[in-house]
Amino acid sequence: MALHNHSIQLSVRAMRVIRFPLTRLVIALCFLMLGVTAGYYLSDAVFWISGHDLFKWYDQFVQLILVCALSFLSYCLYVGLFEGRRVSELSMNAFAQTGTGVLVGIVFVSLTIAGIALFNGYHVSGWNHPEVMIPVFIMAVQAGIIEELLLRGVAFRIIEDALGTWWSMILTAFIFGFLHIWNDNASILSSISISITAGFVLALLYVITRKLWIVIGMHFAWNFTLGGFYGAPVSGGAVEGVLKSELSGPEWLTGGAFGPEASIIIVVISIILTIYLINRVIKEKKIIKPMWRRKSQMI
């Protein structure tokens, strides 16, 4: 029996409170954070029981699997029990949708690196062993899944239901950007850059598809391609990639210690892509109006 058939049923007044966007936002965040926390504690228990690493990166892979699995589970439990519907944004066609997002992410990051290299800001001096990509892969998968469930699955979707598509896009983009303010080498400018690049683009991709897999795929590919392949800093953190590379030149070009995500090149590419996506959203009539405008049209 589908979970949504067993959704919580209370009095009419109580259901109005539970279904109110602010209440839903708080409940959904609690569910997701509970899943993430349970994943970390459970992975610690597995490490303790096993007593030692069974293979290289064993603990990281166990943590990745458990944290991501319980994050998905907690999200689906929230949607089924409190929203009383199927989790359509996580449809079964995950492979094709995630693949599309990965392809978009690879092209996006590659264009950014090519733009920086064009102005002599990115240099390659050799190759590293491919295994250096594994820690970046683990980080990218976990960040892509947890952050997209949190930002697009919970925050964007529920805020959009209350304030409409445009306000939700702006608010969640800047929330997303400034969540990175505590990263190494971060600044106000780097957080604004993250907001108007990844924040806007990922939100619009979700609006067009109404699927989380595509934004999870792009988010993963963004981090993995940037760090795991091109060897550039990812959101302020230095990583090793397959390419032994170096960024040199003015900060406006390279992004400085924070990396290419604070470069003017990625901002320009993102603005172009954002304009294209906004036009698609408008043409395809994907915009959701604020709740007060929807209610006034029903009267």
Interval 5-51: pLDDT, tens: 667 777 888 878 888 889 999 999 999 999 999 999 999 999 888 87
What's the mean pLDDT when you consider all of the chain?
91
User: pLDDT tens, 218-235?
Assistant: 999 999 999 999 999 999
Q: Can you give the chain as a three-state secondary structure string?
A: CCHHHHCCCCCHHHHHHHHCHHHHHHHHHHHHHHHHHHHHHHHHHHHHHHCCCCCCCHHHHHHHHHHHHHHHHHHHHHHHHHHCCCCHHHCCCHHHHHHHHHHHHHHHHHHHHHHHHHCCCEEEEEECCHHHHHHHHHHHHHHHHHHHHHHHHHHHHHHHHHHCHHHHHHHHHHHHHHHHHHCCCCCHHHHHHHHHHHHHHHHHHHHHHCCHHHHHHHHHHHHHHHHHHCCCCECCECCCCCEEEEECCCHHHHCHHHCHHHCHHHHHHHHHHHHHHHHHHHHCCCCCCCHHHHHHHHC
Report the pLDDT value the prediction gives residue 295, as an integer from 0 to 100: 64
Report the pLDDT value the prediction gives residue 298, as an integer from 0 to 100: 46
Would you write out the chain's pLDDT as a tens digit for each of its 299 residues?
Answer: 576 666 777 788 887 888 888 999 999 999 999 999 999 999 999 988 887 777 788 889 999 999 999 999 999 999 999 998 899 999 878 889 999 999 999 999 999 999 999 999 999 999 999 999 999 999 999 999 999 999 999 999 999 999 999 999 999 999 999 999 998 999 999 999 999 999 999 999 999 999 999 999 999 999 999 999 999 999 988 889 999 999 999 999 999 999 999 999 999 999 999 999 999 999 999 999 988 776 655 44
Report the pLDDT value the prediction gives residue 13, as an integer from 0 to 100: 83
Report the pLDDT value the prediction gives residue 299, as an integer from 0 to 100: 46
pTM: 0.93
